[in-house]
Structure 1
Amino acid sequence: MGSAENHLGYHVSTLLSLHEWFTNHQSPVPHVLVLDQPSQVYFPAEPTGEEVLQTNDRTHLLNIYKAIHRTLQQLDGKMQVIVMEHADLDDPAFSQHVVERWRYGNNSGLVPSTWMEPETPAS
């Protein structure tokens, strides 16, 4: 079946197609799709210190997001896709849909750091 890039394409297209069918047929399946780091296949297997997407990889990743966007437009608000992603692309096809950027550097996170502080026992 090919590389990880092919697997990503097959999975995303299959999931979008199934959710489109479920939505159009008033299926009881929740109209939410959650994807975790689809860009992972485009980053090098061994960290090099500076992980930058190559031009072709960036284009292919944007195509994934454009396919998601087209499906959501066709379904006219009847479906939601939530993507947890470490890539942060400056293309409007990606960036205009980012709701929150959780980064350690800006003291922001899905779980607030204050929740992780050890509790002091009451005396």
Structure 2
Amino acid sequence: MTTFEEVAALDSGVIQRLIDRADSWIRRATGRVFTEDADEYIRQDIQVASLMLVEYLWYWDNPEIRETTMGPYDGERLGSYSVGYKNLNQMEQAMPGEETGIKELDQILKSYRYKPSIGNIFRVSGPSRDEV
């Protein structure tokens, strides 16, 4: 399912290690364990998240690929329009409120994060009077 030819060409053992790392990261990020008997939509979301994390981990594990992709540029200027590039050390950090910097992946992880609800364990519903 990957869009990177380099990732698709990896040895199955390397891909499995990346998948294991991605799945472990998802468990830690969400605080949940996803089993095979989970709802179909949940399985699809977790597969997409795992794929994105595999690509993400592969990309950041290969500094030469990052440098090739980013190039030696600091930025570009065309008239009054300019674009600045972050350096590679800054790019490894997600922006505030993000986990990975990949919007779809961050949304999947956030939606499946375990949210404990402390609720009606000792709640009293009101007075209980015997009315005659």
TM class by smaller structure:
under 0.3
For normalisation by structure 1, the TM-score amounts to 0.28
Q: Which structure features the higher share of helix residues?
A: 2
Larger radius of gyration: 2
